Structure 1
């Protein structure tokens, strides 16, 4: 007789399935299946290369330095190809945004509208760099793209600061319930779990704000053609790498 098939309710089977789902390679496969996952890995490669070039670790006369410059430039163009159609994501985010006031509605339009317009224009920047559109338009398109990106980050940071205030209010309510349960000698496992989730949510929101500031700094430098204060190549490359690491961490957790 054949072996008995495991029951659908078999706890050992469920545990094995859960372990398999948490397996690193399965997690990595899910991460790399996402457009943003590959894009952020390319972003890490690009800005790590920029840091190596800006820090003068490699003399410009070395062949490796020239190859690294070519690699960084190629990765930059490749990343733009990953943004094809990405503006639709912002259109849907704006359409589905849950707002409680006119101020939130205005900031949502600024944040999602600015970022959506940035991704839309970036498609034409890619076409110019790929050779389909006359390269004479590349510089003006990039400047317009950087301006819309910077405006989008301004709105995004403002929205996230408002979200932090809402999280703080929610944490205060949960703490109040925990204190009441403690006084009554009642269990508060549910509230404790909810508090941990809120703390993680607050941490991720703060990291998102740091990321927006880093990306906003680079966008501001692009609007000024890399001239003026806060446009040091090493500073901008470091900001880019910081942004890439934060977004990679967020995307990894969301898989």
Structure 2
């Protein structure tokens, strides 16, 4: 198969490198905040803002990632019944996590109602 879902999954997989780079920024800023929070509170505030912005940016780069699990299931989950069941459980969990993670991101940036953030965070935590 070489349909739209396949092409979209390939496109999104290319964004994984950007996500890893932004993750590095997020952790560096977290370490920077920890290192200067008692000596330079103003710099610590900027590091914290950088960390939060990086975390929200990472969620943007992960948009559509639930399609990867869907595509894996669609392609054939496994050769034996046991592998099929395990594949469905693993991919379904990841799909649910990323699906609700998108709603969490949209509510945190103000596109959706902010009250949804707490509920979506709770749901995605139990993937």
Greater radius of gyration (CA): 1
How many matched pairs?
114
**Structure 1 pair 106/68, CA: closer, same or farther in 2 (3 Å)?**
same
Counterpart contact for 2:77–2:88, Cα < 8 Å? no
Equivalent pair of 1:129/1:135 in contact (CA under 8 Å): yes
Tell me how large the CA RMSD over aligned residues is.
1.8
8 Å Cα contact 1:97-1:108 kept in structure 2? no
> Which runs of no fewer than 5 residues in structure 1 stay unpaired?
1-32, 149-255
- The structure 1 segments of at least 4 consecutive aligned residues displaced by more than 6 Å after TM superposition are none
Which residue is equivalent to 1:44?
Answer: 24
Give the match for residue 9 of structure 2: none
Does the alignment pair 1:121 with 2:100? yes
Instruction: Write the distance in 1 (CA, Å) between the matches of 2:81 and 2:31.
Output: 42
| CA–CA separation in structure 1 for the residues paired with 2:19 and 2:126 | 22
Which residue matches 2:59?
80
In 2, distance between residues paired with 1:130 and 1:82? 14
Paired residue for 2:14, among 31, 34, 41?
34
Gaps spanning 5+ residues in structure 2: where?
1-12
Provide the TM-score with structure 2 as the length reference: 0.80
What secondary structure, in the 3-state scheme, does the structure 2 residue paired with 1:84 have?
Answer: coil
